[in-house]
């Protein structure tokens, strides 16, 4: 078991899968010679060559569209979008093509492809480069959406995504790349569509994922110091969504807080809360609380930006409100 | 062209026209839902083009896809069944008129978002290049698609990566109801390839022989490493953009002018003038098409509706 960063974990997953299967290749902006905007593919170009680590023009529709086409021929492309904000330029290809072709042509077309995209705020990149629009993408049947919160899950889920025969949007968080965590040695596959209990507790169920797992863990420590034990369920996949661990935990604690980085309106929290009310209403002892980003385009100014993003104090407050 | 090929291609063109006429009838009877975009008038484009492909060449097109589907070898009965939403349709009734495909015949659809399939075509061609296969991807689209960004992203990428793809613009003079000159900065679509340093050409799409010969030459060049090329094929649709088009944007005289150069008539004359067929043989093909259509309609109408479980089938490969 080695303690490595999220960046190293993602890089390892890509490297191992490319070594294992010659059909796996990478395409995207600056993935090759540059080594990846976030240095995830550093060293790949020299090792795997220009055919398998393909620098593209700045043309997101072409990147995702070409990945779809290549996947249709049996290849396993991993398309990198420099940030998830740029995915909107490829929205048509993600939503109208990748998520639809298998169904619309009655199973004739198979798309074993991954779109890696970096999301999240907190780096003073302004409103257009700081979004967490995960819920938008999770809306569409036909697409799988994964967003890991630990290095081990990042590695295992990315390997599972690359081996999947369905299109997977793999969302990384820009401020998690330096986060370190234990990653088991050897082959590591984490199945898509399985939530995980990341912390055991008896008082309140915290449902979260990606960067907000880190925030929730921090809040949990503060709460523990006050004798409040929260249980943390990490969704890991937004679609398919695994509610079982959420419901099991809720039935134990009877209280839930959902922590997401994106906006509250029409968000992940809205979905989870509805599902809890629909599927375990009798077990809910207090109104479910949602912690989410302030409903503003994220500002550049550091103080304002931090005000808008959910933090551990927000989580602590919400937990106390449901108790 | 030998006699057998001539008769086969004549058959395909007539089959397309009769399939479309029958589809229009079925639409008017309320048996076909959604949109219906007919290929009548443009038959020589895809018949000539697709006749030049080798089996390993992939074909992908837009939503005006019935003719292309027939040329790629999809049976008329399965096409009509799809239009009727039947489970025996090529996409089990879940795609409809705009989403025909049969990947076993290297026909990759039927895509209904204007221009969106062009980047897919680049990817199909990349797949062949990567796997060192000698197929060429033939990507067809209308003149209207050349004004959307996808066209430009895809052409640029194909040139940068030297992809084996033939971009085919079917210029039928109108993007829905907007004439080419009212929507495109250049009236010859082929000029747009110049901006990407891409070899380009233009051919009369009412003349099957001209289309076929141009396509044979270009496909061979691409197969031998010329890189991507763009072929503009000028043509005309006799019917509206889709069923229910009020056609306020053109005059009947204009349609009649083009109908005088009917692609089926021109090819029929070509076969007769060059001794490739006699009247009786062509009439026999006409009759054979009639019978094929008759059977296709019976097949489509008598086919079952999809079962309820079809609704949740094929959302994912791995549920």
Please state the ipTM of this predicted complex.
0.96
Which domains are delineated in chain A? 2-183 (3.40.50.970), 196-322 (3.40.50.920)
Report which DSSP code applies to A96. I
Within-domain flag for B285: yes
- Mean pLDDT throughout B124-130? 98
- Lowest mean pLDDT of A120-134, A154-168, A170-184, B237-251, name the range: B237-251
Quickly state the pLDDT bin for B217 (edges 50, 70, 90). Answer: very high
pLDDT in tens, B30-84: 999 999 999 999 999 999 999 999 999 999 999 999 999 999 999 999 999 999 9
Average pLDDT, chain B: 97
Q: How far apart are CA A277 and CA A282, in angstroms?
A: 8
pLDDT in tens, A308-318: 999 999 999 99
Average pLDDT, chain A: 98
Kindly tell me the burial class for residue A253, based on how many C-beta atoms sit within 10 Å of its own C-beta (0-12, 13-18, 19 or more). buried
Q: List all residues 6 or more positions away from A101 whose beta carbon is below 8 Å from its beta carbon.
A: A68, A72, A109, A111, B109
Q: Sign of the CA dihedral B267, B272, B275, B280?
A: positive
Residues of B in contact with A61 (CB under 8 A): 116, 119, 149-150, 153
The residue annotated as part of the active site, out of A16, A17, A60, A231, is: A60
Closest CA to B53 of B207, B202, B220, B209: B220
User: Is A60 a known active-site residue?
Assistant: yes
Within-domain flag for B315: no
Annotate B108-130 with DSSP letters as a single string: EEE--STTTHHHHHHHHHHHHHH
- Mean pLDDT throughout B191-219? 98
Residues of A in contact with B63 (CB under 8 A): none
B285 inside 8 A of chain A by CB: no
Within-domain flag for B318: no
Instruction: Identify the H or E element spanning A206.
Output: strand A204-208
A68 CA: distance to closest CA in chain B (Å): 6
Give the distance, in angstroms, between the CA of residue A178 and the centroid of all CA atoms in the same chain. Answer: 16
A76 inside 8 A of chain B by CB: no
pLDDT in tens, B34-43: 999 999 999 9
Q: Could you tell me what percent of chain A has a pLDDT over 90? A: 99
Closest CA to B111 of A78, A140, A92: A92
Within-domain flag for B316: no
Which residue is closest to A55 within chain B, CA to CA?
B161
Q: How far apart are CA A89 and CA A68, in angstroms?
A: 15
3-state SS class at B107: strand
B102 inside 8 A of chain A by CB: yes
Q: How far apart are CA B60 and CA B49, in angstroms?
A: 12
Quickly state the pLDDT bin for A1 (edges 50, 70, 90). Answer: confident
Given an 8 Å threshold on Cβ–Cβ distance, is B157 in contact with A70?
Answer: no
3-state SS class at A115: strand
Q: How far apart are CA B254 and CA B177, in angstroms?
A: 14
In chain B, which residue ranges form alpha helices assigned H by DSSP? 3-28, 43-51, 66-71, 76-83, 117-130, 149-160, 180-183, 191-194, 208-223, 252-259, 263-273, 279-302
Quickly state the pLDDT bin for B137 (edges 50, 70, 90). Answer: very high
pLDDT in tens, B141-156: 999 999 999 999 999 9
Within-domain flag for B319: no
pLDDT in tens, A208-224: 999 999 999 999 999 99
Given an 8 Å threshold on Cβ–Cβ distance, is B157 in contact with A64?
Answer: no
Within-domain flag for B26: yes
pLDDT in tens, A75-92: 999 999 999 999 999 999
pLDDT in tens, B279-311: 999 999 999 999 999 999 999 999 999 999 999
Within-domain flag for B310: no
Q: Sign of the CA dihedral B200, B267, B57, B221?
A: negative
Given an 8 Å threshold on Cβ–Cβ distance, is B153 in contact with A103?
Answer: no
Q: Could you tell me what percent of chain A has a pLDDT over 70? A: 100
Number of domains in chain B: 1
Position B246 pLDDT exceeds 90: no
pLDDT in tens, A250-264: 999 999 999 999 999
CATH number, domain containing residue B34? 3.40.50.970
A18 CA: distance to closest CA in chain B (Å): 14
Position A56 pLDDT exceeds 90: yes
3-state SS class at A299: coil
* Boundaries of domain holding B67: 3-304
Within-domain flag for B259: yes
Axis-axis angle for helices B279-302, B76-83 (nearest 10): 40
Quickly state the pLDDT bin for B244 (edges 50, 70, 90). Answer: confident
Q: How far apart are CA B131 and CA B113, in angstroms?
A: 28
Predicted pLDDT at B319? 79
End-to-end CA distance of chain B: 50
- Mean pLDDT throughout A139-150? 98
Of A67, A144, A166, the CB nearest to B123: A67
- Mean pLDDT throughout A66-72? 98
Query: Tokens 């070409």 sit at which residue?
Result: A66
Q: How far apart are CA A22 and CA A39, in angstroms?
A: 22
Annotate B155-213 with DSSP letters as a single string: HHHHHHTT--EEEEEEE-SEETTEEHHHH-SSSSTTHHHHTTT-EEEEEETT-HHHHHH
- Best B91, B124, B130 member to test A by mutation, with max A CBs in 10 Å, is B130
């Amino acid at each position: 078991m080695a303690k490595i960063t999220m960046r190293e974990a993602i890089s390892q997953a890509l490297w191992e899968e490319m070594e294992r299967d010659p059909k796996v290749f990478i395409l995207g902006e600056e993935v090759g010679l540059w080594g990846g905007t976030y240095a995830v593919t550093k060293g790949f170009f020299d090792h795997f060559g220009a055919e398998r680590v393909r620098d593209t023009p700045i043309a997101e529709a072409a990147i995702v569209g070409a990945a779809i086409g290549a996947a249709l021929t049996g290849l396993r492309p991993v398309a990198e979008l420099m940030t998830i904000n740029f995915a909107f330029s490829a929205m048509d290809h993600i939503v109208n093509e990748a998520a639809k072709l298998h169904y619309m042509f009655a199973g004739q077309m198979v798309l074993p492809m991954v779109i890696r995209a970096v999301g999240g705020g907190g780096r003073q990149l302004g409103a257009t480069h700081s979004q967490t629009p995960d819920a938008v993408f999770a809306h569409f049947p036909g697409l799988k959406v994964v967003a890991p919160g630990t290095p081990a899950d990042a590695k295992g889920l990315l390997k599972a995504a690359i081996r999947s025969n369905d299109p997977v949007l793999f969302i990384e968080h820009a401020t998690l790349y330096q986060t370190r965590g234990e990653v088991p040695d050897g082959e590591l596959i984490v199945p898509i569509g399985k939530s995980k209990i990341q912390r055991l507790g008896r008082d309140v169920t915290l449902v979260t994922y990606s960067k907000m797992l880190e925030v929730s863990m921090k809040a949990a420590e503060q709460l523990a110091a006050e004798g409040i034990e929260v249980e943390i369920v990490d969704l890991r996949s937004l679609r398919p969504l695994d509610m079982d661990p959420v419901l099991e935990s809720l039935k134990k604690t009877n209280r839930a807080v959902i922590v997401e980085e994106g906006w509250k309106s029409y968000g992940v929290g809205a979905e989870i809360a509805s599902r809890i009310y629909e599927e375990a209403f009798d077990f809910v002892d207090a109104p479910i609380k949602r912690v989410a980003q302030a409903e503003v385009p994220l500002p550049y100014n550091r103080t304002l930006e931090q005000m808008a993003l959910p933090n551990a104090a927000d989580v602590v407050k919400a937990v106390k409100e449901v108790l | 062209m030998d006699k057998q090929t001539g008769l086969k291609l004549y058959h395909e063109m007539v089959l397309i026209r009769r399939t479309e006429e029958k589809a229009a009838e079925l639409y008017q009877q309320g048996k076909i839902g959604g949109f219906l975009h007919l290929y009548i008038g443009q038959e020589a484009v895809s018949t000539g083009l697709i006749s030049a492909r080798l089996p390993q060449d992939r074909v992908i097109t837009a939503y005006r896809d019935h003719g292309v589907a027939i040329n790629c070898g999809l049976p008329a009965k399965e096409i009509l069944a799809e239009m009727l939403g039947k489970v025996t349709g090529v996409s089990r009734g879940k795609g409809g008129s705009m989403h025909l495909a049969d990947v076993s015949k290297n026909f990759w659809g039927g895509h209904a978002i204007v221009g969106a399939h062009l980047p897919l075509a680049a990817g199909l061609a990349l797949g062949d290049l990567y796997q060192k296969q000698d197929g060429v991807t033939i990507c067809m689209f209308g003149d209207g698609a050349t004004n959307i960004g996808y066209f430009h992203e895809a052409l640029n990428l194909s040139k940068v990566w030297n992809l084996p793809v033939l971009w085919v613009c079917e210029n039928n003079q109108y993007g829905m109801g907007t004439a080419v000159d009212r929507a495109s900065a250049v009236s010859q679509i082929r000029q747009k390839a110049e901006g990407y340093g891409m070899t380009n050409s233009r051919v009369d799409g009412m003349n099957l022989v001209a289309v076929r010969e141009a396509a044979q030459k270009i496909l061979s060049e691409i197969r031998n490493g010329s890189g991507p090329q763009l072929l503009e094929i000028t043509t005309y649709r006799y019917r509206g953009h889709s069923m229910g088009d009020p056609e306020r944007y053109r005059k009947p005289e204009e349609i009649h002018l083009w109908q005088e150069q009917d692609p089926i008539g021109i090819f029929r004359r070509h076969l007769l003038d060059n001794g490739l067929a006699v009247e009786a043989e062509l009439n026999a093909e006409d009759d054979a098409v009639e019978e094929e259509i008759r059977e296709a309609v019976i097949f489509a109408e008598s086919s079952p509706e999809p079962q309820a479980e079809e609704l949740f089938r094929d959302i994912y490969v791995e549920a």
